[in-house]
Amino acid sequence: MIDTIQKPTKLHLQTPVENMSIVIDSNTGVKSYHIVLDSAKQDNPMSLHWEICLVGLLVALLLTALLFFRRRANGKNSSKENAQETAFRNDLLRQSEAYKLFVSKGYFNVNKNSSFAVVKEQEIRDLCDAIADLFSSFSKWLYTKELPDKDFQFCCLVKSGLSTFELAEIYCVSESAIFKRKQKLKEKLGYKSEKRTLDEILQAM
């Protein structure tokens, strides 16, 4: 870049001068100043553009990180609230007459040596109704799966916390038969490849 100055003046150049020379016209005696600016050190618009892009990218990354940690914190709080709500509903279930009747017949007991009384079909339905009332989202979810009534009731009994051994006593079958039924139901519900057991899946609902 070359500037030619015909009149004496003060220059304020932001770009460093690479070379400067004076030429005198032999006819007029007018002095001309030829100033060569260092083009390599001039402001580069493209460089400024990339700097702005870099700042924008850093800001975007920072906001993304903040949103991630905020959602993670909210997720932990939500999980804690869900666990508390589930515990509360389970407490209410234990207070229901249908649940107490099962307890009176020896169920919901970790001791396999306890004696069990026969459970009637109506008593099973009453316990399932209590679960459907207390865990409405769970029962609505089961209805969407369009399960037969027997499978619906079985899922409710699993949700109630009855063990495989106790379910075997209720249905008068072996524990292996109950295990196989759980596996089939797990597939029906769309959890064939899920590592969790049917009990764990239904308890989380």
More confident residue, 86 or 8: 86
Q: In what order do the strands lie in the sheet with 31-37?
A: 2-5, 31-37, 17-24
Residue 68 lies in a domain: no
- Two tokens, residue 24: 């005198």
Q: How distant, in Å, are the alpha carbons of 8, 22, 28, 39, 82 from that of 5?
A: 7, 10, 15, 19, 80
In a domain, 200, yes or no: yes
Taking only the tens place, the pLDDT of each residue in 76-108 is: 555 676 778 888 898 999 999 999 999 999 999
Q: Are residues 102 and 37 in the same domain?
A: no
Domains held by the chain: number: 2
Domain shared by 35 and 82, yes or no: no
User: What pLDDT was estimated at residue 2?
Assistant: 46
**Is 90 a member of any domain?**
yes
What backbone torsions phi and psi does residue 19 show, to the nearest 5 degrees? -155, 145
pLDDT bracket for residue 130 (50, 70, 90): very high
Establish if 70 belongs to a structural domain.
no
Would you state the pLDDT for residue 197? 94
Least confident of 21-30, 126-135, 164-173: 21-30
* Sequence-separated (6 or more) residues with CB below 8 Å from residue 161: 90, 108, 203
% of residues, the chain, pLDDT over 70? 70
Q: Are residues 15 and 116 in the same domain?
A: no
Distance CA 84, CA 51 (A): 50
The CA distance from 173 to 179, in Å, is 11
Mean pLDDT, residues 137-161: 94
- DSSP codes joined into one string, 52-83: HHHHHHHHHHHHHHHHHHHHHHHHHHHHHHHH
Q: 124 and 26, same structural domain?
A: no
Local confidence band at 1 (pLDDT 50, 70, 90 cut-offs): very low
Give me the mean pLDDT over the 46-61 stretch.
75
Rounded to a whole number of angstroms, the CA Rg of the chain reads: 40
Q: Is the pTM of this model over 0.75?
A: no
Across residues 167-196, what is the average pLDDT? 94
Helices (H), the chain: 45-95, 97-104, 121-134, 136-144, 149-160, 164-171, 175-188, 198-204
Calculate mean pLDDT across residues 101-121: 87
The answer on 114 and 162 residing in a single domain is yes
All residues at 6 or more sequence positions from 26 whose CB lies less than 8 Å from its CB, including other chains:
none
Q: Is residue 9 part of a domain?
A: yes
User: What does pLDDT average to over the chain?
Assistant: 81
Write the pLDDT tens digit of every residue in 22-33: 667 677 766 666
With 90 as the cut, is the pLDDT of residue 156 above it?
Answer: yes
In a domain, 179, yes or no: yes
Same domain, yes or no: 88 and 29? no
Q: What is the pLDDT of residue 73?
A: 53
E strand or H helix at 23: strand 17-24
The domain containing residue 161 runs over which residues?
77-204
Mean pLDDT, residues 157-171: 94
